Amino acid sequence: MVRLQKYLADCGVASRRGSEEIIKSGRVAVGGETVTEMGVKIDEESDVVTVDGVRVRPRSKLVYIMLNKPAGFVTTVSDDKERDTVMDLVSDIQERIYPVGRLDYDTEGLLLMTNDGDLTYKITHPKNNIEKTYVAEVTGSIDMSTITRLHRGVVIDGVRTSPAEVTVIGATQLGTKIEITIHEGRNRQVRKMFEAVGCIVKRLKRTREAGLTLGHLPLGKWRRLSESEVNMLKKIGTGKVSSKEKSRSMYGEKAAKQHRPAERRPKKKPRYSGNGIKNK
Ligand code: URA
């Protein structure tokens, strides 16, 4: 049970004080009966509250989480083939959240989930060129000319990909471990880019998206985003994300405190290399 003026405030009708005035003026009804006195309590689940004849309901709390998606889960709310979905991994969250964008069934890593439709739109809209970084384990070795091709763009599904940052991390039993950052979200884009240069992706993991970093979040686990991470995301498309904010959300508070403006930092080496050594 909750006081009527608090309920109205939770619905975004007015402040608690403002809601008291609205009640006094006879504009509010509970279950069809006009209420003008203070102190009335209502049952949020079952009572129908109207203001000027229009039903009001509390705004749902906005929730932002990142999940470290394991392979073997579909990135949908339900699946007609009855496969496991990412929703199975976040069933302890009360609010009706959903995945922001998609990772393939076999892809692991950072998946944002929320019930904030505005933010979902900003992150998934191609005009915002959201940066996404993946670590791929691919077959074969990768030479400098292959890196340059991936960096400059390869043709997939008849359209050239936009420039990518490519870093060889090292050799693996399967072939090569490589980090790639893209700014588009085309279907199976990373797998197709490697296919275009003659390599098969054996394992794929998203490690960063929109300035957020997966970090040490265990596979299959989720965490809520911090306030500074959410604030940074909300600035997408406004041109207002500062590099300090990016440092804070990508590497934590400590890094943000050590942040130096770009002009005081030593010049960055190019982030791609064909010699198996990470240029970072
Ligand atoms: N690129 C892919 O090929 N697969 C993903 O899941 C994400 C990006």
Nearest CA to ligand 1 atom 2: 188
Task: Report CA(189)–ligand 1 centroid distance (Å).
Answer: 5
Q: What is the mean pLDDT of residues 121-148?
A: 95
186 vs 267: which has the higher pLDDT = 186
Q: What is d(CA 76, CA 95) in angstroms, rounded to the nearest whole number?
A: 16
User: Residue 250 — pLDDT band, cuts 50, 70, 90?
Assistant: low
Which ligand 1 atom is at minimum distance from the Cα of 106? Answer: 6
pLDDT bucket at 270, cuts 50 / 70 / 90: very low
* Ligand 1 atom nearest 107 alpha carbon: 6
Ligand 1 lined by 184 (C-beta under 6 Å): no
Q: Mapped to the 3 state alphabet, what secondary structure does 154-185 carry?
A: CEECCEECCCCEEEEEEECCCEEEEEEEECCC
CA of 207 to the centre of ligand 1 (A): 12
Q: What's the confidence (pLDDT) of residue 274?
A: 40
**Do the domain assignments include residue 151?**
no
Q: Whose CA is nearest to atom 4 of ligand 1?
A: 188
Given a cut of 50, whether residue 277 has pLDDT beyond it is no
Tell me the per-residue pLDDT of 202-220, one tens digit each, with 9 for 90 and over.
999 999 999 999 999 999 9
Which domain range does residue 21 map to? Answer: 2-55
Active site residue 10: no
Q: Tell me the average pLDDT across 5-20.
A: 88
What is the predicted pLDDT for the residue at 272?
46
- With a pLDDT cut of 90, the percent of the chain lying above it is 74
pLDDT tens figures, 104-130: 999 999 999 999 999 999 999 999 999
Residue 228 lies in a domain: no
> What pLDDT does residue 275 have?
38
Give the span between the Cα atoms of 3 and 163, in whole angstroms: 57
For the segment 216-243, what is each residue's pLDDT rounded down to a tens digit?
A: 999 999 999 999 999 999 999 887 766 5
**Ligand 1 within 6 A of CB of 189:** yes
Residue 190 Cβ inside 6 Å of ligand 1? The answer reads yes
Which residue has the least CA distance to atom 3 on ligand 1? 188
Q: Give nearest CA residue, ligand 1 atom 7.
A: 103
Please check whether residue 51 lies inside any domain of the structure: yes
The model's pLDDT over 66-103, given as tens digits with 9 standing for 90+, comes to 999 999 999 999 999 999 999 999 999 988 899 999 99
- Is residue 11 very low, low, confident or very high in pLDDT (cuts 50, 70, 90)? confident
* Number of domains the chain is built from: 1
Residue 17 lies in a domain: yes
Q: Pocket of ligand 1, candidates 135, 179, 188, 194: which has the most ligand atoms within 8 Å of its Cβ, to mutate? A: 188
Any domain includes 18: yes
241 located within any domain: no
Question: Is 112 a domain residue?
Answer: no
Atom of ligand 1 lying closest to residue 191 CA: 3
Strands (E), the chain: 2-3, 28-30, 33-34, 41-42, 49-51, 54-55, 64-69, 98-99, 108-114, 132-139, 155-156, 159-160, 165-171, 175-182, 201-209, 212-213, 222-224
pLDDT of 166 reads: 97
Q: Which member of 10, 47, 104, 106 is catalytic?
A: 104
| Mutation probe of ligand 1 site: the residue of 131, 190, 192, 200 with most atoms within 8 A of C-beta | 190
Q: Are 153 and 161 spatial neighbours (Cβ–Cβ below 8 Å)?
A: yes
> Residue range 238-261: average pLDDT?
57
Contact 135, 177 (CB under 8 A): yes
Region 184-200: what's the mean pLDDT? 97
pLDDT range class, residue 60, cuts 50, 70, 90: confident
Asked, for residue 48, whether it belongs to a domain, the answer is: yes
pTM: 0.75
Looking at residue 8, which CATH number applies to its domain?
Answer: 3.10.290.10
User: What pLDDT shows up at residue 243?
Assistant: 57
Evaluate: CB of 104 within 6 angstroms of ligand 1.
yes
Kindly report which listed range (19-28, 204-213, 264-273) carries the lowest average pLDDT score. Answer: 264-273
Segment 26-45 mean pLDDT: 93
Rounded to the nearest integer, the mean pLDDT of the chain is 88
- Ligand 1 midpoint to CA 202 (Å): 12
